[in-house]
Structure 1
Amino acid sequence: MSLHPQIEAVTERIRKRSAALRGAYLAGIDAALQQGPYRGRLSCANLAHGFAACGPTDKSRLRAPVTPNLGVVTAYNDMLSAHQPFEHYPEIVRQVARELGATAQVAGGVPAMCDGVTQGRPGMELSLFSRDIIAQSTAISLSHDMFDAVLYLGVCDKIVPGLLIGALAFGHLPAIFVPAGPMTPGIPNKEKAAVRERYAAGEASREELLEAESNSYHGAGTCTFYGTANSNQTLLEAMGVQLPGTSFINPDTPLRDALTRAAVERALQITALGNDFRPIGHLIDERAIVNAIAALMATGGSTNHTIHWVAIARAAGIILTWDDIDAISQVVPTLAHVYPNGDADVNRFAACGGTQFVFRELLDAGLMHDITTIVPGGLRAFCDEPRVQDGKLGYAPGIATSADETVLRPVSNPFEAQGGLRLLRGNLGRGLIKTSAVKPQYRQIEAPAVVVDDPKVLNKLHAAGALPHDFVAVVRFQGPRSNGMPELHSLAPILGLLQNQGRRVALVTDGRLSGASGKFPAAIHVTPEASAGGPLARVVEGDMIRLDAEAGVLEVLVDAHTWNTREPAVDTQPPAHDIGRNLFAFNRRLVSPADQGALSISCGPPTVDGAWEYDAEYELGRGSEAALAPHEAKDA
Structure 2
Amino acid sequence: MTLNPVLERVTDNIIARSEQTRGAYLQRMEAARSKGPSRAHLSCSGQAHAYAAADPGDKAALATTDAGNLAIVTAYNDMLSAHQPFNRFPELIRDAVRSAGGTAQVAGGVPAMCDGVTQGEAGMELSLFSRDVIALAASVALSHDTFDAAVFLGVCDKIVPGLVIAAQAFGHLPAVFLPAGPMTSGLPNDEKALMRQKFAAGEATRAELMQAEMASYHGPGTCTFYGTANSNQMLMEFMGLHLPGASFVNPNTDLRDALTREGARRALSLSAQGNNYTPVCKVLDERAFANGIVGLNATGGSTNLLIHLIAMARAGGIILDWQDFSALSDVTPLMARVYPNGLADVNHFHAAGGLGYMIGNLLENGLLHPDTPTVGGDGLHAYRQEPVLKDGTLHWQDGAGRSLNDKILRPVTDPFQPSGGLVRLAGSLGTAVMKISAVAPEHHTVEAPVRVFDSQEAVKDAFKAGELTGDVIIVVRFQGPKANGMPELHSLTPILSILQGRGQKVALVTDGRMSGASGKIPSAIHVCPEAMEGGAIARLRDGDILRVDAGAGTLNILTDGVADRAPATADLSANQFGVGRELFASFRNTVGSAETGATIFGG
| TM superposition shift of 1:65 | 5.4
Q: Is the 8 A contact 1:37 1:66 kept in 2?
A: no
Secondary structure at the aligned position of 1:106 is classed as strand
SS of equivalent residue, structure 2 residue 376: coil
Secondary structure in structure 1 of the residue aligned to 2:573: coil
Distance apart, 1:404 and its partner CA? 0.9
Q: Please tell me whether the aligned partners of residues 61 and 103 of structure 1 are also in contact (alpha carbons under 8 angstroms).
A: yes
1:214 matched to which residue of 2?
214
Deviations 1:487-521 (A, max 9, x none): 00000000011111111111000000110121110
For structure 2, list consecutive stretches of 5 or more residues without a partner in the other structure: none
TM-score, normalized by length of structure 1? Answer: 0.94
2:515 is aligned to 514
Q: In the aligned structure 2, how far is the partner of 1:488 from the partner of 1:375?
A: 37
> Partner of 1:364 in structure 2?
364
Per-residue displacement from partner, 1:216-236 (whole Å, max 9, x unpaired)?
Answer: 000000000000000000001
Q: Does 1:564 align with 2:563?
A: yes
What's the RMSD between the two structures over aligned residues? 0.9
Alpha-carbon distance in 1 for matches of 2:395, 2:181: 18
- Distance in 2 between residues matched to 1:488 and 1:434, nearest whole Å: 15
User: Is 1:499 matched up with 2:500?
Assistant: yes
User: Identity of aligned pairs, percent?
Assistant: 55
Residue matched to 2:156: 156
Which position in structure 2 is the counterpart of 1:15? 15
Give the Å deviation of 1:601: 2.7
Q: 1:64 to 1:25 in 2, by over 3 A?
A: farther
Structure 2: distance between partners of 1:95 and 1:429? 54
Partner of 1:30: 30
Which residue number in structure 1 is paired with residue 194 of structure 2?
Answer: 194
Match of 1:619 in 2: none
The number of residues matched between the two structures is: 601
What secondary structure does 1:184 align onto? coil
* Matched position secondary structure for 2:433: strand
SS in 2 for 1:336: coil
SS of residue matched to 1:312: helix
Cα distance in 1, alignment partners of residues 415 and 271 from structure 2: 41
Shift of 1:464: 0.7
Match of 2:374 in 1: 373
Q: Which residue of 1 aligns with 2:309?
A: 309
| In 2: Cα distance, 1:65 partner to 1:20 partner | 40
Instruction: Check 1:526–1:65 CA distance in 2 against 1; reply closer, same or farther (3 A cut).
Output: farther
Check whether the contact 2:303–2:518 (CA below 8 A) recurs between aligned residues. no
* Contact in 1 for aligned 2:78/2:84 (Cα 8 Å): yes
Alpha-carbon offset, residue 96 of structure 1: 1.3
Partner residue, 2:325: 325
What does 1:427-466 correspond to in 2, within 5 Å?
A: 427-466=428-467
- The amino acid across from 2:558 in the alignment is L
Contact residue 376 and residue 383 of structure 2 kept, 8 A: no
Tell me if structure 1 keeps the 8 A contact 2:242–2:376. no
What's 1:625 paired with? none
Q: Do structure 1's residue 72 and structure 2's residue 64 form an aligned pair?
A: no
**Residues in 2 aligned to 1:274 and 1:264: alpha-carbon distance in whole angstroms:** 15
Counterpart residue type for residue 202 of structure 1: G
Alignment correspondent of 1:283: 283
- Give secondary structure in 1 for the equivalent of 2:368: coil
1:413 to partner: Cα distance:
0.2
Aligned equivalent of 1:577: 577
CA distance in 1, matches of 2:327, 2:3: 15
Cα deviation, residue 376, structure 1: 2.0
1:536 corresponds to which residue? 537
Deviation, structure 1 residue 66: 1.6
Is contact 1:40–1:65 with CA below 8 Å preserved after alignment? no
Q: Matches of 2:65 and 2:328 in 1, distance apart? A: 45
Show CA shifts across 1:464-504 (max 9, x none). 11112110000000000000000000000000111111111
Question: Quick one: which amino acid aligns to residue 490 of structure 1?
Answer: S
Check whether the contact 1:352–1:403 (CA below 8 A) recurs between aligned residues.
Answer: yes
Separation in structure 2 between the aligned mates of residue 86 and residue 564 of structure 1, nearest angstrom: 52
Q: In 2, distance between residues paired with 1:310 and 1:65?
A: 41
Instruction: For 2:310 and 2:286, locate their aligned partners in 1 and report how far apart those are by CA, in whole Å.
Output: 11
CA apart distance, 1:35 = 0.5
Distance (whole Å) between structure 2 residues aligned to residue 405 and residue 425 of structure 1: 35
SS at match of 1:91: helix
Q: Are the counterparts in 2 of residues 37 and 65 from structure 1 also a CA contact under 8 Å? A: no
- Contact 1:197 / 1:493 at 8 angstroms: preserved in 2? yes
Residue 13 of structure 1 aligns to which amino acid in structure 2? N
1:37-64, CA deviations, whole angstroms, 9 ceiling, x for partnerless residues?
2211211111111001112211111113
Deviations 1:564-589 (A, max 9, x none): 32111002232421110000010000
3-state DSSP class of the match of 1:210?
helix
Q: Hey, what does 1:618 align to over in structure 2?
A: none
Are the equivalent residues in 1 in contact too, given 2:307–2:598 (CA < 8 A)? yes
State the alpha-carbon separation in 2 of the partners of residues 399 and 55 from structure 1.
44
Tell me if structure 2 keeps the 8 A contact 1:299–1:420: no
Q: Find the residue that maps to 1:447 and give its secondary structure.
A: strand
Following superposition of structure 1 onto structure 2, how do residues 128-207 of structure 1 map, counting pairs within 5 Å? 128-207=128-207
- Matched AA of 1:171: G
1:547 — aligned with what? Answer: 548
Q: Aligned partners of 2:347 and 2:56: how far apart in 1?
A: 43
Query: Aligned partners of 1:177, 1:264: CA distance in 2, in Å?
Result: 9
Structure 1 runs not aligned, ≥5 long: 604-636
Contact map agreement 1:39 1:65 (CA 8 A) in 2: no
Structure 2: distance between partners of 1:476 and 1:357: 41
User: Shift of residue 420 of structure 1?
Assistant: 2.3
Runs of 4+ deviating beyond 6 Å:
none
Q: Which amino acid aligns with 2:536?
A: P
Report the equivalent of 1:624.
Answer: none
1:392 counterpart = 2:393: yes
CA distance in 1, matches of 2:113, 2:181: 17
**Displacement after TM superposition at 1:602 (Å):** 4.1
What secondary structure does 1:431 align onto? strand
Aligned to 2:335: 335
Q: Could you give the per-residue CA deviations for residues 118-139 of structure 1, whole angstroms, max 9, x where no partner exists?
A: 0000000000000000000010
Range moving further from structure 2, 333-342 or 562-571? 562-571
How high is the TM-score relative to the length of structure 2? Answer: 0.99
> Which stretch has the larger CA shift, 266-275 or 113-122?
266-275
Q: Could you give the per-residue CA deviations for residues 211-255 of structure 1, whole angstroms, max 9, x where no partner exists? A: 000000000000000000000000011110110000000001111
In the other structure, the counterpart of 2:82 is: 82
1:63 match: secondary structure: helix
CA distance in 2, matches of 1:415, 1:8: 24
Equivalent-residue separation in structure 2 for 1:497 and 1:12 (angstroms): 44
Letter in 1 for 2:568: A
Cα pair 2:282 2:373 within 8 Å, conserved: no
- Is the Cα–Cα contact under 8 Å of residues 107 and 142 in structure 2 kept in the other structure? yes
